[in-house]
Every structure is written in C-alpha cells, then in structure tokens.
C-alpha cells in the first residue's frame, strides 16, 4: 500500500501543477470580438447603465460598475 501512495501522490501533484502552464485560449487579437456589445449579458445596455446610476445615487457611493454621478443625484 505504501509503495502505491508515493507514485500516486507524485502523479497527482504533477497533474495539478501542469494546469498552471496552460496558455490563454483567447489571443490578444481575438479579444476585440469578445468586447463587442453583442457579447454583453444586458439586453439593453443603456437601461443597465441608468439603473447602475440610480443604485449609486441611492446608496451614496460609487460601485465598480463604471456608472457616473455622485451621491446627491446632481450629476
């Protein structure tokens, strides 16, 4: 049993560490297609931006969504 544990542990460690060497599948010149508005989850991006702004005004702080405006609502 002990003779089997070390090779199995070594194989598992090598398999897990080999995942760190994978190159990204998306090349830099392909990222422009992924940044297209068609790839967005929002059906209507202008409504989503407005709702982000309303949420930020009500909360009185800015989030990480990129909406514009301040806590007082006086943009």
Average pLDDT estimate for 5-26? 82
Q: Is residue 74 part of a domain?
A: no
Q: pLDDT tier at 52 (50, 70, 90 boundaries)?
A: confident
pTM of the model as a whole: 0.32
C-alpha distance from residue 69 to each of 24, 44, 56 (Å): 36, 20, 8
Tell me, yes or no, whether 44 lies in a domain.
Answer: yes
Number of domains in the chain: 1
Per the structure, the complete domain to which residue 56 belongs is given by 34-60
Write down the pLDDT at residue 26: 78
Is residue 57 within 8 Å of 73, Cβ to Cβ? yes
Residue 68: inside a domain, yes or no?
Answer: no
């Amino acid at each position: 049993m002990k003779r089997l544990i070390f090779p199995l542990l070594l194989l598992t460690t090598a398999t897990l560490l080999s995942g760190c060497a994978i190159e990204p599948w998306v090349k830099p010149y392909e990222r422009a297609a992924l940044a297209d508005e068609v790839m967005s989850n929002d059906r209507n991006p202008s409504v989503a931006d407005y709702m982000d702004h309303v949420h930020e005004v009500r909360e009185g702080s800015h989030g990480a969504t990129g909406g514009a405006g301040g806590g007082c609502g006086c943009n």
